[in-house]
Amino acid sequence: MTSERIQRRIAVDNTPPELSGWELRHHRDGFELKLEARDAFGPIAGAELVLPDGSTQRLDPVDGVCDSKTEKFAAVITYPQAWLTAPLRPWTVTVRVWDLQGNLSTVTGVLP
C-alpha cells in the first residue's frame, strides 16, 4: 500500500512595511506627524512613536484600526511641560511600524 501527502504552499514574509509620505512639523503646542505604511504581503499590525525622552506612545491609523495592507497615520503630539524646560533640543522622534510577522520599519525626524 502506498500513500501520498500534498501540502499547500507556505508564504514566508520577511520584508518590512514600506514607509512613505513622512512629514514632521511644529504645531502650536507640540508637533504633527504624517506617515503612510504599506506591506506587500499582509496587514499592518501596529505603530508607535518613540519620543525624545525614550518613552513610547501608540499610534493609531487614521481609520482607527490596523487591518489593511496600507495604513495612514496622522497625529498631533502635545509637548509635555517637562520638555519645554529640559534641554532635549533638538527633539528627535522615531516612528516604528510593523506587520503581523513582526517585520519592523522605522523612520526618524528631527524638530529643531
Per residue in 52-67, pLDDT (tens digit) is 888 899 999 999 999 9
Alpha-carbon distances, residue 53 vs 38, 50, 72 (angstroms): 28, 8, 25
Question: Which segment of 9-13, 42-46, 94-98, 99-103 scores lowest on mean pLDDT?
Answer: 9-13
**pTM attached to this predicted model:** 0.84
The alpha carbons of the chain give a radius of gyration, in whole angstroms, of: 19
Q: What is the DSSP letter of 100?
A: T
Cβ distance 105 to 19 under 8 Å? yes
**Cell numbers of 13, please?**
514574509
Walk me through the domains of the chain, giving residue ranges and CATH numbers: 18-111 (2.60.40.650)
